């Protein structure tokens, strides 16, 4: 599990550790890890031209002491001091090993720029002098390695309301931060390299499943399993206008661990579903979970869906099915899977607001509707009504294709029918959905049905 903590949690853990260590030990640990990461990023150290952008905080000190280590190994290191309160001992140490203090003009000829402008305590945005240096690096094609976080992003939300650093690599210390996982800030981080500095941390504010976590959660059938014990999903999807949504959602469900799908819908759509998937059973019957909404369009029966919401079986609400969701009643068995536009309509806000404040609005919806909310996007944010947050980060941009959400809804329903909680079903489905898209798009563009077809192979690879 990849875990991310808030600034407050990290600060408290750092203070506790620093109280038990000799002064400066924590900074030296961070600087050592940063120097190694920069050397690995460059592929060399001797002769490399390294620019340090140094602000007033501890991140500036980390950058300076990393620069000391790089200079000792033959790098040409120049510090650009962006604050009169730059770490004095770090500057002195750099000068003592042959480093120098320079200006923004030195950036153009650098091999790498190290962003130590502000740390996790910084507010969004950059001061004009810092922004000018960062823009110079971008204009000259010089990659930036961020210290802990890209300066200028909102660390605890992943928001980027002001100009900020866009890093080719971020080297973070002790734990991931929320901005490493959630877009738009996550896209500004580049790959994130974690350096262990020995922090004793509380439970994480956000988590991201890895392959081992998916293996541990996935409902694998046993020798005595039958189609009923593996789980039966009721699927209410598709309409005369959008019959393909039912076919695609069914494909997603069959790519999961369940034993049977019961399709409930118009006869003409049912015929198309059976033609594509002859193993489907058409008509009502006992189920362990429901997936409702994909492609229903104007044929949505709000009353019937609300009856299902009041029943004991867990339910996935996707697309048009979300219109049946009310902000009253017990919805703890509901998994809502909106994209930004659908969530905006549910909350009565602009789509652009949801897109720029993804974590905030996923949390708000989970609290308002007392449901688990899976907000689809480049980084999928999953918020549970009890405050738990999970994020999926392994998706490919090729997944932005018509019908991909129908596949995800069917897969979520399959995992619910097989016995997972709404939070675990959403988390496992998002991971496998993205893994399947990566397989399906290996040679280029893909389609929703190709993503669904790749689910068994992606699952086999993850399960090992």
Taking the C-alpha atoms of residue 193 and residue 225, their distance in angstroms, rounded to an integer, is: 42
Answer yes or no: is 350 a known binding residue.
Answer: no
Answer yes or no: is 47 a known binding residue.
Answer: no
Answer yes or no: is 394 a known binding residue.
Answer: no
Answer yes or no: is 440 a known binding residue.
Answer: no
Answer yes or no: is 244 a known binding residue.
Answer: no
Taking the C-alpha atoms of residue 143 and residue 112, their distance in angstroms, rounded to an integer, is: 5
Answer yes or no: is 151 a known binding residue.
Answer: yes
Answer yes or no: is 148 a known binding residue.
Answer: yes
Answer yes or no: is 123 a known binding residue.
Answer: yes
Answer yes or no: is 444 a known binding residue.
Answer: no
Answer yes or no: is 128 a known binding residue.
Answer: no
Answer yes or no: is 59 a known binding residue.
Answer: yes
Answer yes or no: is 331 a known binding residue.
Answer: no
Answer yes or no: is 405 a known binding residue.
Answer: yes
Answer yes or no: is 62 a known binding residue.
Answer: yes
Answer yes or no: is 424 a known binding residue.
Answer: no
Answer yes or no: is 58 a known binding residue.
Answer: yes
SS (H, E, C) the chain: CEEEECHHHHHHHHHHHHCCCCCCHHHHHHHHHHHHHHHHHHCCCCCCEEEEEECCCHHHHHHHHHHHHHHHCCCEEEEEECCCCCCHHHHHHHHHCCCEECCHHHHHHCCEEEEECCCCCCCCCCCHHHHHHHHHHHHCCCCEEEECCCCCCCCCCCCCCCCCCCCCEEEEECCEEHHHCCCCHHHHHCCEEEECCCCCCCCCCEEECCHHHHHHHCCCCCCCCCCCCCCEEEEECCCCCCHHHHHHHHHHHHCCCCCEEEECCCHHHHHHHHHHCCCCEECCCCCCEEEECCCCHHHCCHHHHHHHHHCCCCEEECHHHHHHCCCCCCCCCEEECCCHHHHHHHHCCCHHHHHHCHHHHHHHHHHHHCCEEEECCCCEEEECCCCCEEEECCCCHHHCCCCHHHHHHHHHHHHHHCCCCHHHHHHHHHHHHHHHHHHHCCCCCCCHHHHHHHHHHHHHHHHC
Q: Give the C-alpha distances (Å, rounded to integers) separating 460 from 220, 334, 428, 463.
A: 11, 28, 14, 5
Answer yes or no: is 406 a known binding residue.
Answer: yes
Answer yes or no: is 60 a known binding residue.
Answer: yes
Answer yes or no: is 295 a known binding residue.
Answer: yes
The annotated binding site for (6S)-NADPHX is made up of 58-62, 119-125, 148, 245, 295, 339, 406
The annotated binding site for K(+) is made up of 59, 115, 151
The annotated binding site for AMP is made up of 376-380, 405
The annotated binding site is made up of 58-62, 115, 119-125, 148, 151, 245, 295, 339, 376-380, 405-406
């Amino acid at each position: 599990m990849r875990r991310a903590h808030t600034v407050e949690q990290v600060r408290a853990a750092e203070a506790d550790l620093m109280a038990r260590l000799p002064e400066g030990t924590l900074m030296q640990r961070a600087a050592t890890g940063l120097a190694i990461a920069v050397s690995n990023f460059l592929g060399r150290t001797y002769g490399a031209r390294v620019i340090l952008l140094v602000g007033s905080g501890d991140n500036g000190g980390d950058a300076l002491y990393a620069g000391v280590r790089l200079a000792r190994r033959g790098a040409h290191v120049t510090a650009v001091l962006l604050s009169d309160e730059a770490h004095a001992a770090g500057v002195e140490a750099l000068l003592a090993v042959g480093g120098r203090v320079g200006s923004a003009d030195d950036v153009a000829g650098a091999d790498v720029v190290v962003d130590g402008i502000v740390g996790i305590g910084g507010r969004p945005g950059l001061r004009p002098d810092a922004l000018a240096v960062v823009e110079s690096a971008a204009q000259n094609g010089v990659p930036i390695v961020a210290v802990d976080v890209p300066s200028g992003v909102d660390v605890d939300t992943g928001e980027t309301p002001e100009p900020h650093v866009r890093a080719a690599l971020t080297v973070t210390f002790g734990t991931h931060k929320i901005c490493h996982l959630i877009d738009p800030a996550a896209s500004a981080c580049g790959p994130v390299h974690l350096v262990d500095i020995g922090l004793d941390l509380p439970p994480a504010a956000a988590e991201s499943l890895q392959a081992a976590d998916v293996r541990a959660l996935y409902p694998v059938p046993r020798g005595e399993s039958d189609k009923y014990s593996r789980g039966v999903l009721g699927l209410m999807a598709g309409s005369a206008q959008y019959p393909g949504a039912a076919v695609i959602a069914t494909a997603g469900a069959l790519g999961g661990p369940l034993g049977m799908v019961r399709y409930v819908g118009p006869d003409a759509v049912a015929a198309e579903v059976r033609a594509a998937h002859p193993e489907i059973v058409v008509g009502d019957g006992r189920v362990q979970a429901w997936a409702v909404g994909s492609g229903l369009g104007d044929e949505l029966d709000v009353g019937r869906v609300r009856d299902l919401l009041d029943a004991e079986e867990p339910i996935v609400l996707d697309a048009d099915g979300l219109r049946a969701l009310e902000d009253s009643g017990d919805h703890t068995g509901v998994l809502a899977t909106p994209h930004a536009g659908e969530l905006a309509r549910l909350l009565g806000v602009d789509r652009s607001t949801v897109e720029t404040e993804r974590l905030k609005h996923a949390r708000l919806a989970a609290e308002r509707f007392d449901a688990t909310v899976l907000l689809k996007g480049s980084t999928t944010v999953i918020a549970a009504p009890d405050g738990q947050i999970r994020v999926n980060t392994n998706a490919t941009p090729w997944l932005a294709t018509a019908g991909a959400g129908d596949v995800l809804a069917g897969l979520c329903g399959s995992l619910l029918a097989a016995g997972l909680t709404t939070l675990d079903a959403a988390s496992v489905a998002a991971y496998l959905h993205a893994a399947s898209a990566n397989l399906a798009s290996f040679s280029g563009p893909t389609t929703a049905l190709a993503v669904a077809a790749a689910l068994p192979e992606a699952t086999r690879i993850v399960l090992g």
